[in-house]
Amino acid sequence: MDPLTHALSGALLAHATASRSCQVLPLRLRIATGFTAAAFPDIDFALRLIDTMVYLNWHQGPTHSLILLPLWAWLLTQVFAWLFRPYSWQLFFIPACLGLAIHIAGDLVTSYGLMLFAPFSTERYSLPLVFVIDPWFSLIIIAGLVTSWLYPDQRTTARAALTGLGIYVFFLSTLYHQAIAAAQHYAKANALHHTTISVLPQPLSPFHWKLIIWHNGNYHVALVHLRKTTPLSGYESTGLWQKIAAAYRPVTENAWTDYHQFGADPHQRDFIRNVWNAPAFEPFRTFSAFPVLERVEKNNQRLCYWFYDLRFEFPQLPPSFRYGMCRQNSETGWHMLRQRGLFYID
């Protein structure tokens, strides 16, 4: 989820949970604490300064851990107590914990995955219900904060906004199950047995979903709009956003695309699989959830096999986080290279 939405959600929760019977810490400081604490976990963006792959493998790691949450809260409260004397650090601890907790909850419902139990485990957990930027999710939070600012002595509006947020997430969970059902129907209709089904929320609309079926080394992928009954057309000369939206087809259209993880040429797959398993490519293997071969680059200087993750492929845009195994024609060893993408983080 985007950092601003995270921070605003922390401010909203801090306001909603404020007690009228306890006014030792001013409300403005409580809200500021929730805001700052909810933004804090994304400090791991600094890892990008070391290396993009280091960032990709450790983003939403220890700073998003439930185990380490009390430690991060304690560290933040020391800063708050130093900045806002004479208030003791204990007064900041609860709103700091709440801010950190709602950040973790917000990222848990996206598709990237959190190391909830770091440092004891690096396993990632995710319930993909919300795209990383969801205008409706953010607007509910903003509406709650604006009305709370207009009526600062009332907690009802902030609590109502949190309730609305919960209802919206529940609504998204119903769409998630609809997307799962659509993928299961396709797998059954096409006699695809022993499959793994995943569905991912997509940009621009809560009804946009990517369906991914893994079967015998291949991905079957569909971009669907769960409420659309007829396809949109006539977007050849319109804007980018309209073209992206038009790519999400009605479920009944069965607009599925097949991706071969190691390419379409069966004679090359064993060799490409060996390249994929090379020790130098371990960081990308660790990062990727739905890896697929993008292309083979062969020229007079080098040979490269470029891969990307289907999580980060969207209509009308080049995939993000493309990495390849390359070797010069005069060499026998493979090394990993990164291909720059459209966005800075690429």
Phi/psi-derived region of residue 60, left when phi > 0, alpha when psi is between -120 and 50, beta in every other case: left
Is the pLDDT reported for residue 65 higher than 70?
yes
Residue 299: per-residue pLDDT: 87
Q: How far apart are CA 61 and CA 113, in angstroms?
A: 9
CA dist 230 to 8, 225, 248, 300, Å? 37, 10, 11, 48
Q: Band of the pLDDT at 23, cuts 50, 70, 90?
A: low
pLDDT tens-digit map of 107-157: 999 999 999 999 999 999 999 999 999 999 999 999 999 988 887 667 888
Lowest mean pLDDT segment, chosen from 143-157, 184-198, 263-277, 305-319 = 143-157
Q: Band of the pLDDT at 176, cuts 50, 70, 90?
A: very high
Is the pLDDT reported for residue 197 higher than 90?
yes
pLDDT tens-digit map of 151-173: 766 788 899 999 999 999 999 99
Is the pLDDT reported for residue 264 higher than 90?
no
pLDDT tens-digit map of 210-260: 999 999 989 999 999 999 877 665 445 478 888 888 899 999 988 899 999
Mean pLDDT, rounded, of the chain: 91
Mean pLDDT, residues 176-182 taken together: 97
- Rounded to two decimals, what is the model's pTM? 0.91
Residue 234: per-residue pLDDT: 47
> Please, what is the angle between helix 90-108 and helix 3-16, to 10°?
130
Phi/psi-derived region of residue 191, left when phi > 0, alpha when psi is between -120 and 50, beta in every other case: left
Residue 307: per-residue pLDDT: 97
